[in-house]
Amino acid sequence: MLTTAVAVIAGLGATTVPASAAPVAPAALRSDPIYSYANAVRETVWVDTGLTAPNGSRVRVATDIIRPREATGRVPVIMDASPYYSTLGRGNESQKKTYDSAGKPVQFPLHYDNYFVPRGYAVALVDLSGTARSNGCVDVGGRSEIASAKSVVDWLNGRASGYTSATGSTTATASWSTGAVGMIGKSWDGTIANGVAATGVDGLKTIVPIGAISSWYDYYRASGATFTSGSPAGLAQVVENSAGAANCGSVKTTLTSGSPSSGDYTAMYRERDYVVNAANVKASVFAVHGLNDLNVKTINFGQWWNVLPARVERKIWLSQTGHVDPFDFRRSVWVDTLHRWFDHYLLGIDNGIEREPASTVEQKPDVWKDDASWPLAVSPTTVRLRPGTTAGVGTLGTTAPPAGSTASLTDNRTSSYDWINNPTTTSSARVIYRTDALRDDVRISGTTQITVTATPSQSAARLSAVLVDYGSATIRNYRTTGEGIRNLTTRTCWGESTTGDSACYLDTAANTTTVSQNIIARGWADLGHYAGLDTRRTLTAGTPYTITFNLASTDQLIPAGHRLALVIGSTDTSFISSAGTNPKLTIDLSKTTLRLPLVGSL
């Protein structure tokens, strides 16, 4: 059972612990499972987004809700707005929504309903516009998708209209809701949470974006370079329903025209850049990201975190996995932490979580480090590249190179995974600069920025830069299936189950491998965007150009005895497309610097 103080909160929907409540240790202040999951109300409400679909119909989004029937007061809402409920599914086991013969929701993917509904929460799973049972179009993070979730927050607060069917006129109200909403989700789902938070909508109390995008430009582009991972219109086709496929051709045309191969930052991308509106964020933020996420690159969490207003209470978890949910890499601690986070921000329980360390980082498999804040580096260390006696091989440190020092490479369209091999020998595809063996552990915590001055031999060129940790280490095997985790044959249960919706999930464990070198941060750029991202410029062969771009945000411990290296190449075929040429690039070392978020000294 709940403690007396918390039971009052759950029953009345209050936002603070009553002053008269007897003192209780923070660990005991938590919602307990006092409501029946089997008897919960399961319903669908179609919420009007205020937008019109291309066929002239009003866009309504299907919102499947499960809430405790016995609650005598109003309850807060945990929301996951997703395009995947009828296509790829959610979670490690790709769960999809299911319905009975009358259309009533049966399976709510993931454990949020099983665990939190008995504890006095409602869970709302929203089909984004143009997906599953919602009408409208998939616009890949644009106005319609943000409205899909924002309108539900508004409906839960009495500011939008909801209906009992997709096209009917019978209204539905959320008289059972306190109006306090927490949005959560991995990948596209968490991206929508970021976007809705950037509107500043009232009632959104917290977001938990997991492996989420903060700018769709940075999902498909990197400082003008084009990733090879697909296109916005292609992604829309993966998740759209049959009505969207039939009626939304104009939307996909807009996505395609707004994402030119030039790599320009267009109006289409600006609409989908939540970083530019981060000043509007009022909700608390609990960000989670895999430091080896090669799908949603880590620049997305780093730039979002850095521009959040100072008033925003926040917490961050950074794992050594790839694109993986914390439920699958640190399950018991995650469920407990998330429970206390929602209890605090949605039920108003003073459990002290906002006063705990704001940063938790996995430094090696299943070894975690807490810190008071993130990033740790207060200001960047300027690092320089000095030539050595072997062509294209040199030293990384704080000493400037001799004036006029240069190094050359040719775009032979290979991979950074190849470039980092044989670090002491010349390679025509890259140049490499390494520190001496480190005397002490150092930590790179934040976002690295590089400025390169390069002279191309042709009219277009790409640049790639990677930071490498040279030294033996056991790491999560993030480049294989599972991206650092493996499924076990056992299951554990997290909440209550019913027929058709089990709370029991496959257990997982770390999947590890031993390496002698590991790329810890990556960055790419198109040299033709040296003057800005709005327009790609044609280069003049033989003319030097200077460009500054970011490498992926990271937090890595480099042990004593290891070496840290910077490798510069051109087209990194594992990630970006070529500029259509094979130029030679001459790097001016005296005008090339690395600003490293370093804790310690090289």
Residue 134 bears catalytic tag: no
Q: CATH 3.40.50.1820: does it fit domain 4-371?
A: yes
Two domains, one topology: 4-371 and 381-599: no
- pTM as predicted: 0.94
Q: Which class for 162: exposed (0-12), middle (13-18), buried (19 or more C-beta within 10 A)?
A: buried
Residue 111 bears catalytic tag: no
Residue 363 pLDDT exceeds 60:
yes
Q: How far is CA 73 from the centre of its chain?
A: 35
Q: How far apart are CA 113 and CA 100, in angstroms?
A: 17
Mean pLDDT score, 523-533: 98
Q: Which residue has the tokens 């790409």?
A: 462
Residue 17 pLDDT exceeds 50:
no
Mean pLDDT score, 166-181: 97
pLDDT of residue 567: 98
Query: How far is the CA of 542 from the CAs of 459, 547, 549, 583, in angstroms?
Result: 9, 16, 22, 11
Mean pLDDT score, 82-102: 97
Query: How far is the CA of 339 from the CAs of 33, 336, 342, in angstroms?
Result: 12, 5, 5
Whether 1 and 32 have beta carbons less than 8 Å apart is answered as: yes
**Four-residue CA torsion sign, 161, 164, 168, 171:** negative
**Could you report the per-residue pLDDT of 227-250, keeping only the tens digit for each?**
998 999 999 999 999 999 999 999
Q: Specify the 3-state DSSP secondary structure of 548.
A: strand
pLDDT of residue 87: 97
Residue 323 bears catalytic tag: yes
**Could you report the per-residue pLDDT of 255-280, keeping only the tens digit for each?**
999 999 999 999 999 999 999 999 99
Please report, for the chain, the start and end positions of each structural domain, with discontinuous segments joined by +: 4-371, 381-599
**Could you report the per-residue pLDDT of 328-360, keeping only the tens digit for each?**
999 999 999 999 999 999 999 999 999 999 999
Residue 398 pLDDT exceeds 80:
yes
**Could you report the per-residue pLDDT of 555-567, keeping only the tens digit for each?**
999 999 999 999 9
pLDDT of residue 439: 97
Q: Specify the 3-state DSSP secondary structure of 227.
A: strand
Q: Specify the DSSP element, H or E, that contains 194.
A: helix 188-197
Q: How far apart are CA 193 and CA 204, in angstroms?
A: 10
Query: In the CATH scheme, what is the homologous superfamily, with its name and number, of domain 381-599?
Result: Galactose-binding domain-like (2.60.120.260)
Catalytic residue chosen out of the listed positions 187, 223, 284, 416? 187
pLDDT of residue 20: 29
**Could you report the per-residue pLDDT of 410-458, keeping only the tens digit for each?**
999 999 999 999 999 999 999 999 999 999 999 999 999 999 999 999 9
Q: If pLDDT is split at 50, 70 and 90, which confidence band does 139 have?
A: very high
pLDDT of residue 400: 96
Q: Specify the DSSP element, H or E, that contains 270.
A: helix 267-271
pLDDT of residue 28: 61
Query: How far is the CA of 354 from the CAs of 286, 310, 357, 465, in angstroms?
Result: 10, 14, 8, 37
Count, residues in the chain: 602
Q: How far apart are CA 176 and CA 511, in angstroms?
A: 44
Looking at residue 358, its amino acid is A
Residue 27 pLDDT exceeds 70:
no
Q: If pLDDT is split at 50, 70 and 90, which confidence band does 378 have?
A: confident
Catalytic residue chosen out of the listed positions 80, 113, 189, 293? 293
Q: Please report, rounded to a whole number, the percentage of residues in the chain having pLDDT higher than 70.
A: 95
Q: Please report, rounded to a whole number, the percentage of residues in the chain having pLDDT higher than 90.
A: 94
Catalytic residue chosen out of the listed positions 113, 177, 284, 323? 323
